[in-house]
Structure 1
């Protein structure tokens, strides 16, 4: 048998170059240290994964990622207080609650940059049990209405964070103690997103140019894919809790009675830690802030090996020519 065909040489230089680039992209984790507090009394403290992570579909040979973080101080705040009032009649419960709320509104109405809003939460009857005594049978408990419960939320918008302490004192004078939450707002979110994008793209271009200079290859000739996204985290989402205490270890019998003291639970603000970001805007955090994360990922696909265009022909003993498909 004889084989005839045309031989074509295919270089795999670009494929090997991409593999080398992928090996060079090792990101070293920077060290992070802080003064230790009472939180270390709690074992195995774990921080939830609140970091941004943009996904790209499919497999790739090379992915270059740039992450940015911006800490934004709030421009305004909204504190929400819940007011609860119980009374025997609908008229009484309305008058009592409105008196308490109006006292707060009157005192803060002359403060600068203050806006208020009161919304209805619930208005329900309250029931108690009345005991019906019988001589020759057990007691019967009958549920009867005894009054009404009214709940409203008081929303107060302010600009200075120091005003919250004063607001709490004013509410306390009207027996309003339940501070539900404090929301943070900023007018600079869109501008911050734009600044993050510009900075990240500059760093991405520098990374690509640096790799091309080291390896002597043009990454722009390969098939590419780019994906990016933002994530915003507000302070209300970032409060954690722990209990700080030290207890003695005693070898006691299982039957021993142990009365344990109640341990106080502490809340603290834990922002996104900036150690995994390529750049941070306004890194120093003194108070709870709005945190905006941005990530851009640049993928370079591995060039697929071209199918061989060699043509192989089999010459049979009878002199017939039959083509052989070697690509399958």
Structure 2
């Protein structure tokens, strides 16, 4: 029997007021499509009418690569797609994720306990904290909905309202605030006919002459994120990551070059503690954390059933199996509250 006191370790890391990192697993917990479902949706629903012959050939090759079991990001790296085809992939991606996002919002109107993230934020704000930082690769607005349910102001790079325009962090003041740094864009970001980026709250479809501002996987990701507002958002995310005393990763797979380099630098050079809770630890997470590169870590994944968890700790040489759910955010909250 292990002497590992993972409850105390979880609490010690939590009481350092962690920066929260949300990955796709945090949204999958609410039924949002992951990369696999998105890939199938793209193959079935992307409009290719009117494309040139080379673009049609690239699309066919892309679909074949996906059907061979290659993941979406690798497929988009492997097959060169034109700007027009990329635009259509973005629109199809937006349509799927936005419809699921709106459905979750509707459900949340009937269920005040829907978001464990709301309870986490409430508990964190019981301290002297006035600002909490969330960094996310997700396009959806579940973090924003969680803030709204808790009655906490959030800032995501734009003014408040229905037609929102870009605003610096110091333009939005409140007694308590959650900063949500969305490094790959958001469902409510659009390029307007004036070529600037605006945010439109909870609309059902893409307005005429507006283009969704979400960054799909692939080579375009690194080109687009050098532009505004991504450049400023990523810079602010980097500042928050650098200033953090602790990290809490929820469903994050450590597969994004925009986020983890600074995180791992802090974990390796300054021994900043990191907690990961997820359904399944990714290969990247295992390599970065469990192979001796992070000094202070607690990683928890699902076991054989939902009511079993596997705990990996920098305080213990071997993993520990726990017969309860502490791998989900709901389960993790039982360790710290």
TM-score, normalised by the number of residues in structure 1? 0.20
From the CA coordinates, give the structure whose radius of gyration is larger: 1
> Which structure carries more relative contact order (alpha carbon 8 Å, separation 6+)?
1
Identify the structure with the greater strand proportion: 1
TM-score w.r.t. length of structure 2? 0.19
